[in-house]
């Protein structure tokens, strides 16, 4: 009996040691805890129109690479235009925007995110399906074209240019990060993006030369993301085509 009394405490302590040693295996790779979701994205990483940054306690744990991406900082200046097929291609993905973050994809056929107005209210869908040039991924699949499903696929049309103006009174302050996707223009035309500060002074401009192609029915090969980062605030952006009309999509702005 004496021997049994000595062995039982030892056995229990061994089990406790084993449980403590295994505890790290349930943390999703040893992560120290949950980090806030990326601004404007739900837990499943799908876009949420008009959503701001969240800190959801139910969010999945992330690895070191995701954590580094969530801390991404972009310097002030005009971004170079880049090919763009879905929101996953945005240079703003992973940038912390603690004050607010808004995203407009026109899929409800309206410009209705807060604190912004446009000099055009003509949605591409009003022309009929043959002239809609929405971002490829807006139908849920990146496959070379946005195909109309459940009334999806739309963009904003301008007669050669489209201007978006931000309202500091509504937003609390002007956005510091603004982006827009050029989706269509005349064959061989240039896509030109301009950004202006609170005093309507030009911050800078970027051009994608001769980017327009002959596909006016949703082809994504010409689609380009243009953006600007300006800590003092962006009051206005302008997207132009050097010839013909212009279609734009995925307006993104935050602070």
pLDDT tens digits for range 145-204: 888 777 778 999 999 999 999 999 999 999 999 999 999 888 999 999 999 999 999 999
What band does 26 get if pLDDT is binned at 50, 70 and 90?
A: very low
Among 23-37, 204-218, 224-238, which range has the highest average pLDDT? 224-238
Q: Is the separation of the CB atoms in 222 and 187 below 8 Å?
A: no
Residue with the larger pLDDT of the pair 50 and 71: 71
Q: What is the mean pLDDT of the chain?
A: 77
Residue with the larger pLDDT of the pair 76 and 33: 76
| Predicted local confidence at residue 241, as pLDDT | 95
The residue extents of the domains of the chain are 68-254
**How far apart (Å, rounded) are the C-alpha atoms in residues 244 and 233?**
30
The b-or-e profile of 69-102 (16+ CB within 10 A means b, else e) is ebeeeeeeebbebeebbbbebbbbbbbebeebbb
CATH of 68-254, one of 2.60.120, 1.10.287, 2.60.40, 1.10.3470: 2.60.120
User: pTM higher than 0.75 for the full model?
Assistant: no
| Predicted local confidence at residue 68, as pLDDT | 53
Q: Is the separation of the CB atoms in 135 and 146 below 8 Å?
A: yes
| Predicted local confidence at residue 133, as pLDDT | 81
Q: Which two tokens stand for residue 49?
A: 């129109």
| Predicted local confidence at residue 218, as pLDDT | 59
| Predicted local confidence at residue 155, as pLDDT | 92
| Predicted local confidence at residue 171, as pLDDT | 98
Distances in Å between the Cα of 141 and the Cα atoms of 88, 103, 145, 252 are 12, 19, 9, 20
What band does 1 get if pLDDT is binned at 50, 70 and 90?
A: very low
| Predicted local confidence at residue 152, as pLDDT | 79
| Predicted local confidence at residue 150, as pLDDT | 76
């Amino acid at each position: 009996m004496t021997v049994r009394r000595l062995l039982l405490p030892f056995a229990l302590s061994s089990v406790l040691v084993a449980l403590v040693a295994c505890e790290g295996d349930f943390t999703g790779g040893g992560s120290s805890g949950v980090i806030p979701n990326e601004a404007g994205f739900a837990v499943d990483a799908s876009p949420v129109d008009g959503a701001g940054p969240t800190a959801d306690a139910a969010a999945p744990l992330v690895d070191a690479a995701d954590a580094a991406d969530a801390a991404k900082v972009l310097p002030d200046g005009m971004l170079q235009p880049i090919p763009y097929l879905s929101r996953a291609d945005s240079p703003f993905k992973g940038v912390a925007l603690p004050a607010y973050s808004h995203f407009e994809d026109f899929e409800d056929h309206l410009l209705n995110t807060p604190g912004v107005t446009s000099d055009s209210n003509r949605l591409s869908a009003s022309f009929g399906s043959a002239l809609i040039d929405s971002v490829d991924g807006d139908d849920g699949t990146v496959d070379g074209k946005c195909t109309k499903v459940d009334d999806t696929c739309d963009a904003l049309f301008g007669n050669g240019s489209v201007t978006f103006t931000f309202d500091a009174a509504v937003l609390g302050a002007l956005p510091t990060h603004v982006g827009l996707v050029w989706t269509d223009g005349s064959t061989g035309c240039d896509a030109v993006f301009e950004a202006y500060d609170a005093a309507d002074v030009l911050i800078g401009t970027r051009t994608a030369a001769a980017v327009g192609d002959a596909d006016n029915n949703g082809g994504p090969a010409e689609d380009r993301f243009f953006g600007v980062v300006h800590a003092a605030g962006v009051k206005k952006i302008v997207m132009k085509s050097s010839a013909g009309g212009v279609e734009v999509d995925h307006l993104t702005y935050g602070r």
